[in-house]
Amino acid sequence: RQIAPTEWIEVEGELAGNPDGYNVNETITATSVKPAGIRDSDFLKILAFDTEWVDEGGEEKLIMLSMAGNDGFRKVVTSHSWNGSEKYVESVGDERDIIEIFIRSVKERDPDFLVGYGSDGFDIPKIKREEARMKIKLELGRDDQIIHVARRGRISSARTRGRVHIDAFDFVSHILSSGMRSDMMTLDEVAQQLLGADKTGLGDNEMVKMWGSKDDVGRLVEHCMHDSVITLRLGELILPQIFSLCSLTGMLPFDSCRTTYSQLVEAFLMRRAFADDVLIPNRPKTDEIEKRRMDPSYKGALVIQPEKGIHANVLVFDFRSLYPTIIVSHNIDPWTFNKTPCSSRSEVPESGWYFCQDEKGFIPRHLSEIIDARRKIKATMKEPGISEGELRVLENKQYALKIIANALYGYYGYFGSRWYKRECGSSAAAWGRFYITKVIDMARLEGFKIIYGDTDSLMARLEKDLPQDELVGFAMKFADSVNKSLPGIIELEFRELYEGGIFVARKLGEEGAKKRYALIDGKGNLEVRGFETVRRDWCELSKAVQREVLTIILRDKDPAKAVQLVRETVRKIRDGKASLGELTILEQITRPLSQYEQIGPHVRAAQKAAAMGRPVFEGMVIGFVVTKGTGSISDRAEPVENVRPNQYDPEYYVKHQIVPASMRVLKALGYSEQQVLGGRVQKGLEGFLKRPEKI
């Protein structure tokens, strides 16, 4: 019937009462059941929760639990005595009482969705451990169903029946993180980016001290309640996105929340195959996956090494959804690959392969439907009179379509894919190289100087001096002329004119990003790729200084000012005036701490945090500061919450953070480290700035 989870359905039939005593509103003897699509889901009941733990005598102890519902319900349960004015706070005797009130509240509120943040790897497993010790049942499902924790690969997940447990951390880190500015996935950071929520400013070390002294439990209550409220808001944000993915793939919300891109694609294709009466390939067994891993890797995207230096009036062109449109336009599908007999062939560059065009392949056909549907939705979103609710539903639909479309290309080469076909992935990459090369050749004939090219984008400047409005017009006409020569739905678009850009070539043997550039637009907005400013393994101050150096050079064209900024920052650090927030380094925990053989700084810091009762689980990002003292950097790495302002090691931050990050940019202008830290500095950029000749 093609009925998907989270969609409305229309049912015709007769009310049958409830003779079997099911926990439902109505029982219907149905004569007709059909899908009715996604509509507003505001009626669903959501209950978010958060727990706080401290280490007492070498054992972790549950001290507080908060809950927040989208019906206005608020509650904090604590084992500390309470005489504050907040009526939602309940003081109880011990951990057992906290857990029992949690269970009772869930049953009374009867939410459809139970939402946590990091609850798969932290809150629920810890409560389950207490459940076993106290011999109570964690009945968080409907009809007194117990919630269970299971491991899937390296990841834990907590599941019950009758209501859905959503771990918002899983969805944010797996699906949303690629579009976020920061790599730090703490609840505060994510809420600040996605919701604009304020931080509580209460660190774990401060929380432990506060609980131990019992001086200001009110702040701890406020902190715990705040975490549940923003978890609730996060749940309200992501659930409609999860529902849209469920509608496309047929996956349940529990699975969509915890899924990967490849799993989303597979579920989408299986659902379409069932509808089309197409045979679904078996999932590959371990020996087949290992055999695929032995296949030689195919040549990837074309990367044009940047013309290093500073450039004025940088024109940026992008192919719109390059690989999805290539797959559709050339009918790239395992079934059409080298098919015989075939009357119409699309020859793959550089290979001798072809894809038959006689009949649309299964995957290109449905990918084409996705692309068409997304374009129609985006057009509808621009129409006048669209309500906020309708706009929200449409935005979630187009985002789900975008995720599936962009992930399909990689699925061809994924070793665990049911529709694995290395030649399909290789062919899409070959056509990608062909079209970017074609555009480069056409651009050069039109008088463009190519500055940089990578995968599906091209950056260039015009070899003649024109006013900016004429440059934009020329670029748009060029894109139109290119599109007339491209097949199918492949399309090049002119994205933007940037006032300036700096490009840095990577040295032979140097590790790091292949592309390293920064662009500045007419409003002073900076777009950065490959520099430390967009990586999480550098402290915030290093990233901020590097970003400001880039801005000064591109906007003010004043390298002397940029060098002075670096010198002032070095002085600030050595004088002990840098804040801990500026010096915090972020790294992700990718496995259980016990499985690490090499103990890097972030692992050592995480071990120290875990010993204090702080949530530490796979996938989370730990923030640490390198402190003064003896021993290795790892030995001196401390969770930021444990560090006092005067404890950081200034020389580490000068030599390993600020100077290297700044020199990534300043070396491109010919400066040495000695010049930056103390020598004379050239004032202008005239020797470095590359402009077109006047005509």
What is the token pair recorded at 156?
Answer: 């834990």
Q: What angle do CA 431, 433, 437 make, to 5 degrees?
A: 115
Structure tokens at 342: 């075939």
Tokens of 181: 């500015």
- In the three-class reduction of DSSP (H, G, I as helix; E, B as strand; rest coil), residue 413 is classed as coil
Percentage of the chain lying above the pLDDT 90 cut:
55
- Both tokens of 125, joined, read 């497993």
- The 8-class DSSP code of residue 648 comes to B
C-beta of residue 50 within 8 angstroms of C-beta of residue 75: no
Q: What is the mean pLDDT of residues 38-46?
A: 76
Q: Residues in the chain, how many? A: 695
Sequence-ordered list of residues with C-beta below 8 angstroms from that of 655, at least 6 positions apart, any chain: none
Strands 621-626 and 637-639, sheet pairing: antiparallel
Domains defined for the chain, CATH in brackets: 1-37 (no CATH), 46-257 (3.30.420.10), 303-503 (3.90.1600.10), 531-578+652-690 (1.10.132.60), 580-647 (1.10.132.60)
Q: Is it the case that residue 201 has pLDDT exceeding 70? A: no
Going through 26-120 in order, the beta strands assigned E by DSSP cover 28-37, 46-56, 59-69, 74-78, 89-91, 113-116
The residue-averaged pLDDT of 147-153 equals: 82
Q: Which two tokens stand for residue 37?
A: 């699509």
Beta-strand runs (E) in 328-441: 345-347, 354-356
Q: What is the pLDDT of residues 549-584, one digit of tens each?
A: 999 999 888 888 999 999 999 999 999 999 998 999
Q: What is the CA radius of gyration of the chain?
A: 29
Q: What is the pLDDT of residue 40?
A: 65
Is beta strand 526-529 parallel, antiparallel or unpaired with respect to 517-520?
antiparallel
User: Residue 278: pLDDT above 60?
Assistant: yes
User: What does the pLDDT read at residue 513?
Assistant: 44
For 52-102, how does the pLDDT look when each residue is reduced to its tens digit (9 = 90+)?
A: 887 776 677 899 999 999 999 999 999 888 877 788 999 998 999 999 999
- pLDDT band, very low/low/confident/very high, at 385 (cuts 50, 70, 90): confident
31 falls in which pLDDT band (50, 70, 90)? Answer: very high
Q: Is the pLDDT of residue 676 over 90?
A: no
Of residues 575 and 694, more confidently modeled: 575
Higher pLDDT, 636 or 43: 636
The pLDDT, as a whole number, for residue 183 is 60
Report whether pLDDT(215) > 90: no
DSSP characters over 332-352: --TTTBT-SS-SSEEEPTTTS
pLDDT of residue 532: 59
The set of residues, in sequence order, having a beta carbon less than 8 Å from that of 651 and lying 6+ positions away, is: none
Per-residue model confidence as pLDDT tens digits over 483-497: 999 999 999 999 999
pLDDT band at 304, cuts 50/70/90? confident
Tell me: pLDDT of 306 over 90.
Answer: no
DSSP code, position 277: T
The model's pLDDT over 502-527, given as tens digits with 9 standing for 90+, comes to 988 765 444 444 567 889 998 888 88
pLDDT at 228 over 80: yes
Average pLDDT over residues 420-425: 96
Poorest-pLDDT segment among 39-43, 171-175, 186-190, 468-472: 39-43
Question: What is residue 682's predicted lDDT score, i.e. its pLDDT?
Answer: 52
Q: What distance in Å separates the CA atoms of residue 498 and residue 518, rounded to the nearest whole number? A: 10
Strand partners, 309: 503
Percent of the chain at pLDDT > 70 equals 89
pLDDT given at position 26: 84
pTM of the model: 0.81
**Which of 120-134, 176-190, 444-458 is predicted least confidently?**
176-190
pLDDT at 695 over 70: no
**Other C-beta atoms within 10 Å of 479: how many?**
17
* 186: three-class secondary structure by DSSP: coil
Q: Mean pLDDT across the stretch 613-626?
A: 80
- Whole-angstrom Cα distance, residue 619 to residue 183? 11
- CA angle 446–448–452, rounded 5-degree value: 140
Average the pLDDT over 320-348 and give the result.
Answer: 96
Residue 508: per-residue pLDDT: 46
The mean of the pLDDT values for the chain is: 87
